[in-house]
Each structure stands twice: as C-alpha cells, then as structure tokens.
C-alpha cells in the first residue's frame, strides 16, 4: 500500500495495536510477571515481524555502516528509553512521569520542523496542538503515595523523553535513505542486544508467574506492540513526523475504551477531556 494516504492507514494500525497492548499488558504484570522480563519477551516478538519485513523485500537490506548505525540507534533509543522508564518508576511518581514522558512528540515536531523542514496546513497545526493536549490528559495518573528517593527518577524521565523523541526523528530521517524493512530489522537486533540488561534489572527475589498469564500471555500482548512498531516505520516513511507521531500518541484512547469494556472502569474527568480532544484531533488528521 504505497499511495499518498497510506501513512494514515499505517499510523492508525499503530495507534490501535498499541492501544490494545496498553489495555492488556497489565494482565501479565498484575499476575506476577515483571515488566523487565516482559521487555525480553517483547524483543523476541520482534523477530517474526522482522522476518516478515525481510520477506517483503526479498531479504535484501542495506548493510553499509551508515544504515546499520542509524537502524541500531533507532532501536537502542526506543529500547533504552523503555528500560530507563522501568528504573524511573521504581522511585518516582507515575502521575508525574507518564504525562511528562508522553509529551515527547513536542521535541520530535521541533526537530522535524527545524532540520527536516516539514510543513503542513494551519488546520493540521491546530490538530497537532489538540493531539498534544489530548496525549497529556490521556496520560494523567491519579496521585499515589510513593517512596521517592532523591531526583534520580526525574533525570531518568528526562532521558526517556529525549530518547523517544530522537527515536521518532531518526526513524523519519532514516526513511529518506533506507528501506523501512531495514530499519525495523536493525531495531529488532538492538532490542535483543538490550535484553541482558533487562534480565539484570529483574528482581528475582519475588515470585514470578511462569504460567499462561505470565510469559505466554505477555508474548501474545507484546506481539501487538511489535506489529505497531513495524507499521510506525511505514507510517513515517510515507507521512510527516509532525503529524504521524502525535496521531500514534493517541493510542491511550483505545486503551481506555477497552479498559472500560473489560474492567468496567469509567474514566474520570481528565481522561474524558482527553478522549474528546483525541476524537477532534483524529478527525482533523483524517481530512
């Protein structure tokens, strides 16, 4: 699907798969399967997606040093940011960390406008603004008591913010000279390279669920995330980063809707505002 509007199709697939992933990932975690081990499972689920991507280009990818470096950088920024987020949440308040990190598209947009010279219409800029506001509201967490230790968590949260913003920017930048399939292949390799660190970060002193709701359910759920990562590469290949990144950042809309159905949890005022803003933003991006 390589038409001009294909970016919207791929971006929506990413939004929906990541939204479903967000709603279901709590099941294995609440069942006693640590998110660090979940990261290892996620890195493994990228392998079949990478093989599918390679098959689509007849197993021909860029192997020059520049392409390898760019691809690995994208993967390390994404995976490294995820591991840094795990560490930040150990001591820091989630109600501050999640809304702050979720606004990384602001930096991606700034980099894309300044260095990639991306432009769009006034209506789309309005949609981008609405989407950023929606992302903030959708990422809102109720304040809970937390044993905060210093401000290390704040530094880690800032690193996550920068890493994920740079990942999206470099992904768009790389798409100008590389196949999307090559980018994803090297992302998968980078994810696997970070798996030993996730293993080291795991607290094995607590019981770990190794039943179906543990690694097996985690594999099914994380496979959705891997699919979304692949379609994100395609979305950024055909679309502008200043629009694609804010749109995919609205995945919590799907998460909230599914959570409402499965867990019968009605969203509060903040989330309702986020839902309304997200619907407006999606409608604008769809024009």
**Range from 1-5, 124-128, 181-185, 209-213 carrying the lowest mean pLDDT:** 1-5
Question: What count of other Cβ atoms lies within 10 Å of the Cβ of residue 54?
Answer: 18
pLDDT, tens digit, 9 for 90 and up, residues 95-145 = 778 888 888 999 999 999 999 898 888 888 998 999 999 988 888 777 765
The 3-state DSSP composition of the chain as helix, strand, coil percent (nearest 5) reads 75, 0, 25
pLDDT, tens digit, 9 for 90 and up, residues 251-286 = 888 888 888 888 776 777 888 888 888 888 888 877
With cut-offs at 50, 70 and 90, classify the pLDDT of residue 1.
Answer: very low
pLDDT at 146: 54
Q: Locate tokens 């509007």: which residue? A: 5
Question: What count of other Cβ atoms lies within 10 Å of the Cβ of residue 149?
Answer: 10
Is 240 in a helix, a strand, or coil? coil
What is the Cα–Cα distance from 50 to 24, expressed in whole angstroms? 23
CA atoms within 13 A on the CB side of 63: 4
Q: Which of 105, 98, 111, 68 is nearest to 255 (CA)?
A: 98
Q: Kindly report the pTM of this predicted structure.
A: 0.90
For the record, the structure tokens of 269 come out as 């005022």
Rounded to an integer, the average pLDDT of 237-244 is: 92
pLDDT, tens digit, 9 for 90 and up, residues 11-22 = 999 999 999 998
């Amino acid at each position: 699907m390589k038409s001009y509007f294909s970016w919207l199709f791929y971006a929506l697939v990413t939004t929906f798969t990541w939204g479903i992933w967000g709603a279901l990932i709590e099941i294995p975690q609440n069942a006693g399967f640590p998110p660090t081990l979940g990261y290892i499972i996620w890195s493994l689920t990228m392998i079949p997606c990478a093989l599918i991507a390679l098959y689509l280009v007849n197993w021909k990818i860029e192997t020059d040093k520049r392409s390898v470096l760019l691809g690995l950088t994208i993967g390390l920024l994404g995976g490294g940011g995820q591991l840094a987020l795990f560490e930040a949440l150990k001591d820091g308040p989630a109600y501050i960390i999640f809304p702050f990190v979720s606004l990384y598209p602001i930096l991606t947009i700034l980099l894309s406008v300044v260095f990639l010279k991306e432009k769009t219409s006034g209506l789309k800029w309005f949609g981008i603004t609405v989407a950023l506001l929606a992302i903030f509201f959708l990422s809102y967490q109720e304040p809970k008591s937390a044993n905060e230790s210093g401000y290390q968590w704040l530094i880690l949260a800032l690193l996550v913010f920068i890493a994920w913003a740079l990942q999206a920017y470099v992904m768009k930048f790389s798409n100008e000279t590389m196949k999307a399939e090559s980018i994803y292949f090297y992302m998968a390799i980078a994810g696997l390279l970070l798996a030993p660190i996730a293993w080291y970060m795991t607290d094995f002193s607590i019981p770990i669920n190794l039943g179906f709701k543990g690694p097996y359910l985690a594999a099914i759920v994380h496979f959705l995330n891997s699919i979304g990562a692949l379609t994100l590469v395609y979305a950024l290949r055909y679309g502008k980063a200043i629009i694609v990144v804010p749109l995919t950042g609205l995945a919590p809309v799907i998460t909230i809707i599914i959570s409402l159905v499965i867990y019968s949890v009605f969203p509060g005022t903040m989330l309702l505002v986020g839902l309304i803003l997200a619907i407006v933003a999606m409608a604008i991006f769809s024009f």
